Amino acid sequence: MTKSIFITGASSGIGMETAMLFANKGWQVFATMRHPKNVHNFDEMENVVTYPLDVTDNVQIEKVVNDIDQKYGTVDVVVNNAGYGLLGPFETNTRDEIKQQFDVNLFGMMDVTRAWLPSMRAQHKGVIINLSSLAGLVPFSVLSMYTITKFAVEIFTETVGEEVAPFGIQMKVVEPGPTNTNFNGRSMKEGSIHIQDYDQMIADYKKNSGSFAGGTPDIIANLIYEAATDGKKQLHYATPEVKQMGMDYRRKEI
């Protein structure tokens, strides 16, 4: 029987690479994004169905999930990948900007998870994979609000994972490090409050992020595939570099 996967934020980067990988391995893929009409990478792939989805729109989430559930049945794997980074120290971010960061990176993930859990409980199986970040293990200044959302993704995955485990559902977290995607471009928004004291700090971040070599999205897509298929009771999936940096930081804090 063909397995199926639901992916948010599949228009580019890690989300698109993940959708392509699973499709090429014969899975039925439901690739969601805000503007599917602008994405043509899946046009020739019969086992990929695209849906318009903004993870901050709970009505749309329910509509898409119900449509898939009724037409195809519940999915085997959900990948919560949609997200972006809010650049700037805390003081440079407005309340609305901070709220939007949480709505996309955290509450959107929660709402997608909530929408799929009833059918997964009914079939007594399923894997939910949440995309965190190195920033979910090691705090980053100038990306403080993004960092906070990713730390929250980590603990959400762990605690809710314990709640749903008795129903045969696994929750896992994938932690990419710097990856050569459009994260520092289209997926980055800068806080709108200008405070001169922070100018040099922001300039240094922009300079360093532009020169920091990252891995390719296929590395993370393969980590996601491993998490989806290995059958292990494993919570964290990270590249060796990210894992080491996370462990080094925690050791400093003990």
- Residue 250 burial (10 A CB sphere; 0-12, 13-18, 19+): exposed
Q: Tell me, yes or no, if 150 is annotated catalytic.
A: yes
* Phi, psi for 102 (deg, rounded to 5): -70, -35
Beta strands in 54-204 (DSSP E): 77-80, 85-87, 126-131, 169-175, 188-190
User: Using CA atoms, how far apart are residues 52 and 31, in angstroms rounded to an integer?
Assistant: 9
Report which of 1, 38, 3 is spatially closest to residue 16, judged by C-alpha positions.
Answer: 38
Q: By the 8 A CB rule, do 11 and 39 touch? A: yes
* Residue from 4, 12, 132, 144 carrying the catalytic annotation: 132
End-to-end CA distance of the chain, in Å? 48
Annotation says 84 is catalytic? no
Radius of gyration of the chain (CA): 18
| Active-site pick, 4, 150, 198, 237 | 150
Q: Annotated catalytic residue: which of 146, 198, 225, 237?
A: 146
Distances (CA, A) of 162 to 169, 171, 202, 233: 9, 8, 39, 11
Q: Is 211 a catalytic residue?
A: no
- Which positions are catalytic? 132, 146, 150
